[in-house]
Structure 1
């Protein structure tokens, strides 16, 4: 069961994803693909890196794009 904080993170992550341009989205997918390709078996560290992209980097990119416009 999700906590309120986890639910908020999921909501803000989804909003960030919706705010990405096609170019931003492709860049992030390429980064995630490279992380997955370079690892023979998923580990906690890999999962942490991928989650970091969604929870931290996506919101920053979306916010920077909004501030630019």
Structure 2
């Protein structure tokens, strides 16, 4: 379920994370690591980027995998 801002609730985010394949999970961890490693990003933007992975990218990938099956 999406909230007013277009973000997914914590329950839906956790459900999406649990549906990731091992390879997808590793890919997202590498993406998050790359975001965190970048010291040029101000902290507010850093948090926003990491949240975007959890709230937008992971659920989209899970939905796409389900649609393909």
**Which 4+ runs in 1 deviate beyond 6 A?**
none
Long gaps (5+) in structure 1: none
Long gaps (5+) in structure 2: none
TM-score (norm 2): 0.82
Match of 2:61 in 1: 61
Across the two proteins, how many residue pairs are aligned to each other? 63
Matched, 1:30 2:30: yes
More helix by share: 1
TM-score (norm 1): 0.82
